Copies of this chain bind each other. A is one copy, B any other.
């Protein structure tokens, strides 16, 4: 715990996410501030009870875009360790689909970088949600922020 790892950790997995483990990965005495964001499957969503969401991802590109995201963050903020983790497959209500953990010497950098990270993850990561509710089902509308579309 005396090292000062300015390291990136990226996870794409069909297993449960592990926020505590990610927090431990980036914890070091030189970084007094650790901000974590966990996004879970929300139910009810838009008034409908959600049965599950199937997350499909382009996993090789997810890792590439996590690297892009980390590069953007490190250019803007003074950071220690950074974790970006995304789960794929079938998730039920309340299960975590994304976790982001950002360590910094400063609380403002840690908090603002975490906020920027989840916003950019939603724009950059090639993932698609197929939501099944008690009423209907379908692909969830997404973001085209990342590039000029066809």
Q: How large is the interface on A (under 10, 10 to 19, 20 to 34, 35 or more residues)?
A: 20 to 34
Task: Establish whether residues A94 and B42, one from each chain, have CB atoms under 8 Å apart when the complex forms.
Answer: no
Copies of this chain in its oligomeric complex: 2
Within 8 A of B (CB), among A83-124: 93-94, 105, 107, 110-112, 114-115, 118
Task: Establish whether residues B110 and A37, one from each chain, have CB atoms under 8 Å apart when the complex forms.
Answer: yes
Residues of B with C-beta under 8 A to A39: 32-34, 107
Task: Establish whether residues A29 and B1, one from each chain, have CB atoms under 8 Å apart when the complex forms.
Answer: no
Task: Establish whether residues B31 and A42, one from each chain, have CB atoms under 8 Å apart when the complex forms.
Answer: yes
Classify the secondary structure of A's interface with B. mixed
Task: Establish whether residues A30 and B1, one from each chain, have CB atoms under 8 Å apart when the complex forms.
Answer: no
- Tell me the A residues contacting B by CB distance below 8 Å: 1, 19-20, 23, 27-45, 50, 93-94, 105, 107, 110-112, 114-115, 118
